[in-house]
Amino acid sequence: MDLSTAYYNSSPQVTAVLARIRDIISATAAGERHQSGPQVSELAAASRNGQPRAIRDRLDLDDFQRLLTAARAGCCKKELAAAYGISRRSIYRLLAA
């Protein structure tokens, strides 16, 4: 008899968790696990029949170019976001692209 088995005294909760983990691993190995699509925010889901709203769709070409020029020139991202009605994260994403 193995020593770890002889002295193993787990609670029912631990046994249940281990059984659940075993089931998840076997389901993953069998390919039964649910494949979820990309996560979409509530705003994106509510706008235009569930299609995400692109910044280029919200801003006309001139505003888009002015925004990029100002951001690259070093203007405050918070002020630009407020002026154009977009998030700071969107500005940083545009600059990274």
The pLDDT, as a whole number, for residue 51 is 53
The verdict on pTM exceeding 0.75 is no
pLDDT (tens, 9 = 90+) of the chain, 97 residues, equals 566 666 666 788 888 888 888 888 887 766 655 556 666 666 666 665 655 567 777 788 898 899 999 999 999 999 999 998 888 998 998 888 8
Q: Which tokens hold the place of 28?
A: 């993953």
Q: What is the pLDDT of residue 72?
A: 92
pLDDT at position 54: 76
Residues contacting 80, CB < 8 A, separation 6+: 67, 70, 71, 91
